[in-house]
Every structure is written in C-alpha cells, then in structure tokens.
C-alpha cells in the first residue's frame, strides 16, 4: 500500500469547501461522546456505551436504509451490570439523513487522519475544477451513492456504517478522470519509507484495484470491518460524475526534477 503525501498539481483558487469538510470532520470526531477513550488509547464501559448509543442514532445502518427496519431496543448510553443498558429508542431516526451524518463520523484517529489526508491532497484540485458549490454537491452525492451502494450489497446487516471514505473515494475517482497524468509524491513501505513520484493513474488505479480486491473478500478475513464495497461504489460514482468535465480540464504542469525518485533525464526534440 502506498501513502500519498503531496501532488504536483497547483490550484487557481483556495479550496474552501475542502478545508471546511476537514474542519467539520475533525470537530465532529472530537465532539463524539465516548471518543475520548479512543483518543487516549483505551476506553471504559461507560464510554463504550455512550459511543454505541451515539452511533445507533447517527450512523447509517444497511437494514434501516433498505428495509426501514428500525431496532426495537438500542443502547441508551447507560451501563447496567456488565453491559450497556438497552431501551426503546427515544428519538425518531431518518435513515436517508443518517447517510449524511455518517459521513462525518469516524471511529479512531487512524480512520479520521487517513481520510483527511486523501481529501486534502486530491480534493483541492477537484474543487478547483468544479467550483465550490458543485464540489460540495458532488461530495454529498458520492457519499450517498457509496452508502446506499454498500447497503444494497449488505441489506440485512445491522452494523453501523460510518466514515467519509465513500465520499472521498468519489473525489479520488474524479481526480483520476480529470488529472490522470498529474504526479503524486507517495511513500512506499519497503524496509524504509521510500519516496517516489508516480502518475496519478498508477496511484489511484492501484488503490481502486486494491479496494475491489478486498471488497470481494480476498486478502482479508470476511472483508474485515472496512466497507470496501462503499469505496468501490463511491469511486465509480465520482468517475461518472466527473467525466463530462474532462474535455475542458487543462492538463497539470509537467513536473521537473525528480521523477520516480531519481533525477529526470533531459529530453531533446527535433
């Protein structure tokens, strides 16, 4: 797996929507009840119960999205005995709206920072090409496509779906369509972290293939706890939505200096 750290693709305007999305995700993460345990590296039962109650209220649940089967009992956030107290929900939950709220929820620092790194690197250029308002709408549409796409494939699942990964996957798909030749600095773990500058089509194409491979249950046990299928659906949605903008997109600047981790050789033209 490669870790992107920077792309060689300057923008013409400040990506205010990208920055606002990052700020909103960080704010919600720090404000999530019970998240202090994950920040500190551990959590007690009370924090866990508060977190479960919060996620049951605001996370997207496939069974609720597809069948509208709302649970009869949910965690209240209180502790009883050795577990979380269950009671009928004291709120009215809108499954479609939960897809939106789930886009701003994360379960750990690693989950949050990984998503925000990809959004920061690739979101600014997509926003620059689409404009602020269209990019904001694009982001939300990709998130909904990823959420409902995953739910259709796991219609009977009662596990909460959280994270901005599906929407950000749409950003990656759009970037691949709009700027396939842009160069991206990545770190490749090979004994040490080896810095390389690779074309976006290779970095993002490899990322998509890996997500598709994992979503099929290959390479991980039962696809783990990561919603890889949501990444695949979001990526494809982003590609399709960005495709009409491709003809009018100016190419990224031709990078100079280091190429694939070494000095590029001068080219002579005739």
- Kindly list the structural domains of the chain, giving each domain's residue range(s) and its CATH number in brackets, ordered by start: 3-33+94-251 (1.20.1540.10)
Position 220 scores a pLDDT of 45
Position 21 scores a pLDDT of 98
Distances (CA, A) of 118 to 184, 224, 265, 269: 11, 21, 30, 37
Distances (CA, A) of 193 to 3, 33, 196, 209, 210: 9, 35, 10, 22, 20
Of 84-88, 124-128, 131-135, 197-201, the range with the lowest mean pLDDT is 84-88
* Banded model confidence at residue 242, pLDDT cuts 50, 70, 90: very high
Cβ neighbours of 248 (radius 10 Å): 8
User: How many Å apart are CA 86 and CA 156, to the nearest integer?
Assistant: 21
Higher per-residue confidence, 35 vs 49 = 49
Q: Are 59 and 162 in contact (CB under 8 A)?
A: yes
Q: Are 47 and 37 in contact (CB under 8 A)?
A: yes
User: How many Å apart are CA 75 and CA 5, to the nearest integer?
Assistant: 40
- Average pLDDT in the chain: 87
Position 254 scores a pLDDT of 72
* Banded model confidence at residue 136, pLDDT cuts 50, 70, 90: very high
User: How many Å apart are CA 188 and CA 2, to the nearest integer?
Assistant: 5
The values of phi and psi at residue 217, to 5°, are: 85, 10
| pTM of the predicted model over 0.85 | yes
User: How many Å apart are CA 220 and CA 29, to the nearest integer?
Assistant: 27
* Banded model confidence at residue 255, pLDDT cuts 50, 70, 90: low
């Amino acid at each position: 797996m490669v870790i992107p750290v920077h792309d060689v693709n300057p923008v013409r305007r400040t990506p205010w929507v990208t920055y606002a999305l990052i700020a909103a995700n960080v704010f919600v993460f720090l404000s999530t009840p019970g998240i202090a345990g994950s920040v500190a590296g551990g959590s007690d039962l009370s924090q866990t119960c508060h977190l479960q109650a919060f996620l049951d209220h605001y996370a997207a649940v496939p069974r609720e999205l597809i069948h509208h089967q709302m649970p009869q009992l949910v965690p209240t956030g209180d502790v009883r005995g050795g577990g979380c107290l269950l009671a009928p929900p004291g709120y009215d939950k809108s499954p479609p709206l939960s897809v939106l709220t789930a886009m701003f929820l994360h379960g750990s620092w690693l989950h949050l920072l990984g998503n925000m790194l990809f959004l920061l690197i690739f979101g600014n250029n997509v926003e620059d090409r689409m404009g602020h308002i269209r990019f904001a709408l694009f982001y939300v549409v990709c998130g909904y496509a990823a959420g409902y796409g995953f739910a259709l494939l796991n219609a009977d699942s009662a596990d909460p779906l959280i994270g901005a990964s599906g929407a950000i996957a749409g950003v990656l798909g759009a970037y691949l369509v709009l700027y396939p030749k842009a160069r991206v600095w990545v770190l490749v773990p090979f004994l040490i972290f080896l810095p390389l500058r690779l074309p976006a089509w290779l970095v993002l194409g490899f990322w998509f293939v890996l997500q598709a491979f994992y979503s099929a249950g290959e390479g991980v046990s039962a696809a783990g706890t990561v919603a890889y299928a949501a990444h695949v659906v979001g990526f494809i949605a982003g590609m399709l939505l960005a495709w009409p903008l491709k003809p009018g997109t100016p190419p990224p600047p031709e990078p100079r200096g280091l190429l694939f981790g070494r000095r590029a050789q001068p080219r002579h033209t005739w």
